[in-house]
């Protein structure tokens, strides 16, 4: 976090998350009203104000390559700094899952916490700075929704007939967490082997360890048949 200013993107109730390593120079957050104008005889035009439209968030920055020796440049704001390919792979993976992510913007006196969908993600390698990738990201506010359950209630009336009324139950907020995939430990398996085989990247073994609450001691004695959850 730089001077109380940070941007975090997360997925699956923060099972996977990261802070932007280089903060954008500006962030555009827009949200238009959804009013409509009607022409009415003798009254002229009237404006019917409806609920505000969904917010759109747009910003540009870059993912810097880690220089030899691992020296952290002053413009890098996040302590957890990864390779550009790691960020790009995560964002593209989140897009492919077609699930909302969470955008958290924190600055002095202001915090924005929104569920969002990734609408645009473009990137390119920077000429003259091998390994650095510039990117453009556009997010759109996501509203959780679910069908409401309607119950029919029939009651007798004084006239000897019956009266039917409907009762709507409030919809429960859907769980934004993705159901984790699982894998069963086989003979000779280690977390690194499992991460390589199931996730395509052996370096993600620490994510499996954290997700399953395994201690370092337990890693040395993984039992065959143990079912492990896999990160998204």
> Higher pLDDT residue, 217 or 48?
217
Q: How confident is the model over 116-129, as a mean pLDDT? A: 90
User: Own/partner pairs for 183-188, CB < 8 Å, 24+ apart?
Assistant: 183/227, 183/228, 183/230, 184/225, 184/226, 184/227, 184/228, 185/222, 185/223, 185/224, 185/225, 185/226, 185/227, 185/228, 186/224, 187/224
The answer to whether residues 10 and 69 belong to one domain is yes
- Residue 1 above 60 pLDDT? no
The answer to whether residues 14 and 114 belong to one domain is yes
- Residue 118 above 90 pLDDT? yes
Into how many domains does the chain fold? 2
- Residue 198 above 90 pLDDT? no
The answer to whether residues 28 and 129 belong to one domain is yes
CATH number at residue 20: 2.40.30
The answer to whether residues 91 and 188 belong to one domain is no
> pLDDT averaged over the chain?
81
CA 79 to chain centre: 20
- Residue 154 above 70 pLDDT? yes
Q: Are strands 56-63 and 16-19 parallel, antiparallel or unpaired?
A: unpaired
Compute how many other C-beta atoms are within 10 angstroms of the C-beta atom of residue 210. 12
Q: Do 197 and 185 touch, CB atoms closer than 8 A?
A: no
Per-residue model confidence (pLDDT) at position 23:
87
The answer to whether residues 187 and 130 belong to one domain is no
Query: How far apart, in whole angstroms, are the C-alpha atoms of residue 87 and residue 71?
Result: 19
Q: Do 205 and 192 touch, CB atoms closer than 8 A?
A: yes
Query: How far apart, in whole angstroms, are the C-alpha atoms of residue 117 and residue 12?
Result: 13
Domain that holds residue 99: 6-33+51-141
Query: How far apart, in whole angstroms, are the C-alpha atoms of residue 97 and residue 29?
Result: 24
Q: Do 175 and 193 touch, CB atoms closer than 8 A?
A: no
The proportion of the chain whose per-residue pLDDT surpasses 70, expressed as a percent, equals 74
The answer to whether residues 19 and 111 belong to one domain is yes
The proportion of the chain whose per-residue pLDDT surpasses 90, expressed as a percent, equals 21
The answer to whether residues 95 and 194 belong to one domain is no
Q: How confident is the model over 160-187, as a mean pLDDT? A: 70
Q: For residue range 6-63, what is the model confidence (pLDDT) as tens digits?
A: 889 999 888 888 889 888 888 888 876 655 555 555 556 655 566 677 889 999 999 9
Report helix, strand or coil for 92. helix
């Amino acid at each position: 976090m730089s001077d109380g200013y940070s941007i975090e993107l997360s997925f699956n109730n923060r099972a996977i998350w990261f802070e932007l390593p280089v903060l954008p120079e500006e962030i555009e957050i827009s949200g238009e009203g959804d009013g409509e104008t009607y022409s009415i005889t003798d009254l002229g035009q009237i404006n019917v104000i409806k609920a505000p439209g969904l917010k759109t968030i747009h910003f540009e920055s870059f993912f810097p390559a880690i220089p030899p020796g691992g020296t952290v440049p002053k413009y890098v704001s996040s302590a957890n700094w990864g390779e550009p390919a790691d960020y790009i792979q995560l964002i593209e993976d989140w897009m492919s899952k077609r699930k909302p992510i969470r955008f958290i913007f924190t600055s002095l006196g202001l915090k924005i916490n929104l569920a969002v969908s990734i609408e645009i993600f473009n990137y390119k390698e920077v000429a003259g700075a091998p390994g650095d990738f510039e990117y453009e990201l556009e997010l759109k506010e996501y509203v959780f929704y679910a069908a409401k359950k309607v119950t029919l209630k029939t009651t007798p009336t004084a006239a000897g007939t019956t009266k039917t009324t409907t009762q709507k139950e409030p919809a429960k907020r859907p769980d934004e967490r993705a159901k984790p995939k699982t894998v069963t430990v086989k003979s000779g398996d280690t977390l690194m082997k499992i991460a390589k085989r199931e996730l395509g990247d052996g370096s993600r073994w620490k994510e499996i360890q954290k997700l399953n609450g395994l201690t370092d001691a337990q890693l040395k004695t993984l039992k065959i048949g143990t079912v492990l959850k896999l990160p998204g």
